[in-house]
Amino acid sequence: MPRDTSETTTVAQTGEFGLIRALTQDRVQPPFTLLGPGDDGALVAAPDGRVVVSTDVLVQGVHFRLDWSGPEQVGRKAVAVNLADIAAMGALPTSVLVGFACPGDLPASVLTRLTDGMWTEAERAGVGVVGGDVVRSETLVVSITALGDLNGLPPVTRSGARPGDVVAVCGRLGWAAAGLMVLGRGFRSPVGVVNAQRYPEPPYAAGPAAAAAGATAMIDVSDGLLADLGHIATASEVGIDVRTEALQPDQRLQEVAAALGADAQRWVLTGGEDHALAAAFPPNVELPAGWRRIGVVTRAEFGVTVDGQPHSGGDAGWEHWKTS
């Protein structure tokens, strides 16, 4: 059946196999895809011989709202948050697999538009959507599994940072948190800030570039800069100190914060969902293009600090099931 499914046709009316055809036909796969959707499994090239794998699940009402974001934007976000994890391992993203769970009365056009968004982001990253599954549920759920290739380099984990290393970031910080507050207040502009919440734009190429430059540890900033640097600190058994002079909010964020009575610096330090990359590098390494120094790795007993002091601004970032 054609991809432009009628707005009134439901998933149940379309049927499982009709839906799969609508979601997969006429798609152009990149060279990494040796066998795409349509068989019992996909076949993806792995030139390195090792495959980096990551999975994320997005639930309607928790990770996205269709009254805030169009299905295409949700699809872009679902792919982006997964590929950011691949890049954070220093790998080149190659492909994704998609799982949809949804009610039978959901318009089939929602899923086809979601898939269009997924392909938009997949093409931006140079990866293929190679397979997946669709099942019935009471809530719309999107699950993505992403694959990546290490290109002959060791993976960059969270556990390799050493005292004296430089801490750097690549990508925007605080924009998604600002967009969340704007949407939460009932506004839909400024569009650039709101769209940062609707779908992130991770710097995919920055991960492999950091690995090639000798990064000792890396993570994508999904839960908030301080929270995610805390994961590196814990895994590496080190402390990390960030300098606010290197993390001044963009002028646009300052304007939005002033209008909302918010703190733009707090967005930068603790706001999640931008999916920038944060990494530690040996002190004598020239940082790759796009990376900027924001701090230093210290001894473990210092913990994660801001300008040499414990963070005093409340939570360091997002955590599921946390109630207080």
> 40: annotated binding-site residue?
yes
> 315: annotated binding-site residue?
no
> 159: annotated binding-site residue?
no
> 189: annotated binding-site residue?
no
Q: Which residue has the tokens 């994704």?
A: 96
CB 60 within 8 A of CB 110: no
Cis check: omega of the bond before 288, within 30 degrees of 0: no
CA distance 110 to 70: 9
End-to-end CA distance of the chain: 49
> 307: annotated binding-site residue?
no
> 85: annotated binding-site residue?
yes
Q: Which residue has the tokens 């293929």?
A: 128
CA distance 49 to 44: 11
Which tokens sit at 149? 């290739």
> 273: annotated binding-site residue?
yes
CA distance 95 to 129: 6
CB 93 within 8 A of CB 126: yes
> 95: annotated binding-site residue?
no
> 56: annotated binding-site residue?
yes
> 158: annotated binding-site residue?
yes
In the annotated binding site for substrate, the residues are: 63, 273, 318
In the annotated binding site, the residues are: 40, 54-56, 63, 85, 132-133, 158, 220, 222-223, 273, 318
In the annotated binding site for Mg(2+), the residues are: 40, 54-56, 85, 133, 220, 223
In the annotated binding site for ATP, the residues are: 132-133, 158, 222
